[in-house]
Amino acid sequence: MSGSSDLPKYPFARSPRSYNPPAELGELRRQGPTERVQLFDGKPAWIITRHKEVCEMLNSDRLSNERYNRDGYPEIHSGTKKEGVRPTFVHMDAPKHERHSHDGELFAPEATEALKPQIQEIVDGLIDLIKDRGCKDGPIDLVIEFAAMVNPKAILLLIFKVPEKETNKIIQASSALSGTSGTASESGHTDLHDLLSQLVDERIKKPGSPQEDLISKLVIEQYRLGSLDRDDLIILVYMILVAGNSAIESSIALGVTTLLQNQDQLRELRDKPELAGQIVEEILRYHTPSALNSRRVAMADLRLGGKEITAGTSVIGFVRSANRDERLYSDADKFDIHRHVDPHQNLAFGYGPHNCQGQWLSRLELQVVFSTLFRRLPNLKLAIEPSELEYTPPTQNVGVVHLPVVF
């Protein structure tokens, strides 16, 4: 590829006052499944826009997810890639990826399902606090008080078995951190690094039950056998804690906002909380809140969507566009809780070997949230006009910064 200066610049910018995707998303998908864009540093990249071809791309063994040891991995903002980082399995290729990710079994669906009663307790506990406070002193910020708390509470209490009284300190230190690529040392957030190092050291000294606590499992099955050292363990624990936070937070805040703007569909959910499962799937399809991560670099020449991609070239899987592909979803730009979205075709969690490992836990958290929130707070409504809502910066993953509500 050459002559990239006339190409559309990626990431595309949303309107700052809307959660709707940028116009380029639909335009490029109509042009073809494999189009060209220009990255922030001027380098060209291929972007894959349609569902079938994005699945093919994310399954291809000719494309690498090695961000740190290989040239050509597409960076989308300046300063996000640091040198000298120890990658987690997220940025390894097969067979190292399978070995280090325990064949994707970190959060198996059955083990995750068993956590439902405790997740219900966490969600109810957060809503109790909101109800106790009430809105006599002004609106509640549903992002800060609720959406941002659900996942870190679940990970710390249920997955890492951290005692309740210690969770708030860690959540505070980890707030505003997210993403599957970062590492504690990379972020410079030394408080969080220290707190997690302390936690890992305690478990190395005295592991708990490997069936109940993931850090103890990693200590017994990996650290003691020499396949992970202490630093690897800290990085992994950090990554698991922050990986899904902003996507869960955004799914909750965007889901609430969208339902409040579609009162007929919200009424159905209020009447039938058991619809929460299909509603969550549609929220994830419609908003695709973690849309910027599925990027790769070609290790060998390949043909994708009718175009020749040469080794060393950057390739972006445009999952947000694929989730709006009218070849799979009729009236794809419409939010419709009755749409059938097959979880295995929903690209909100990616696809192929690097498919999200936290997806079953995430679905469970979101299902509990959406079957509970409007039942416990039936009069929940926005305290400001929808047009006044503050969204995440236009070239970042879509999300809501503050969600002032009354009930």
Binding site for ligand HEM (CB under 6 A): 58, 65, 89-90, 101, 107, 151, 155, 180, 240, 243-244, 247-248, 251, 289-290, 293-294, 348-350, 354, 356-358, 361-362
Comparison of 346 and 407: residue with beta carbon closer to ligand HEM? 346
**Dihedrals phi, psi of 64, to nearest 5 degrees:** -110, 150
Cis peptide before 95 (omega within 30 of 0): yes
Residue closer to ligand HEM, measured from CB, 48 or 240: 240
Q: Measured from the CB of residue 60, what is the shortest distance to ligand HEM in angstroms?
A: 12
Q: How far is the CB of 11 from ligand HEM (least distance, A)?
A: 14
Judge contact between 115 and 360, C-beta under 8 A. no
> Which CB, 219 or 247, lies closer to ligand HEM?
247
* Least distance to ligand HEM, CB of residue 133, Å: 27
At closest approach, how far in Å is the CB of 235 from ligand HEM? 12
Closer Cβ to ligand HEM, 35 or 93, answer by number: 93
Strand partners, 47: 35, 316
DSSP annotation of 333: T
Euclidean distance between the first and the last CA atom of the chain, given in angstroms as a whole number: 55
Helix (H, G, I), strand (E, B) or coil at 329: coil
Q: Which of 236/382 has CB closer to ligand HEM?
A: 236
User: Of 363 and 407, which has the nearer Cβ to ligand HEM?
Assistant: 363
Pairing of strands 314-317, 44-48: parallel
Are the beta carbons of 324 and 287 closer than 8 angstroms?
Answer: no
- Closest distance between ligand HEM and the C-beta of residue 398, in Å? 11
CB 221 to ligand HEM: min, Å = 17
Least distance CB 244 / ligand HEM (angstroms): 2
Cβ proximity to ligand HEM: between 265 and 288 the closer is: 288
Is-contact 141 402, C-beta < 8 A? yes
Supply the minimum distance, in Å, between the C-beta of residue 39 and ligand HEM: 17
Dihedrals phi, psi of 59, to nearest 5 degrees: -100, -5
SS3 category, 28:
helix
φ/ψ of residue 9, rounded to 5: -90, 130
CB atoms within 10 A of CB 340: 10
CB within 8 Å of 127: residues ≥ 6 apart: 146, 372, 373, 376, 377
Nearer to ligand HEM, 156 or 407 (CB): 156
Q: Which residues contact 317 (CB under 8 A, 6 or more apart)?
A: 48, 54, 57, 58, 294, 295, 296, 347, 350, 351
DSSP assignment letter at 146? I
Tokens of 223: 């650290």
What phi and psi, each to the nearest 5 degrees, are found at residue 190? -70, -30
- Residue 335: phi and psi, rounded to 5, are -80, 115
Residues making up the chain, counted from first to last: 407
Q: Give me the least distance between CB of 382 and ligand HEM, in Å please.
A: 22
Between residues 219 and 366, which has the closer beta carbon with respect to ligand HEM?
366
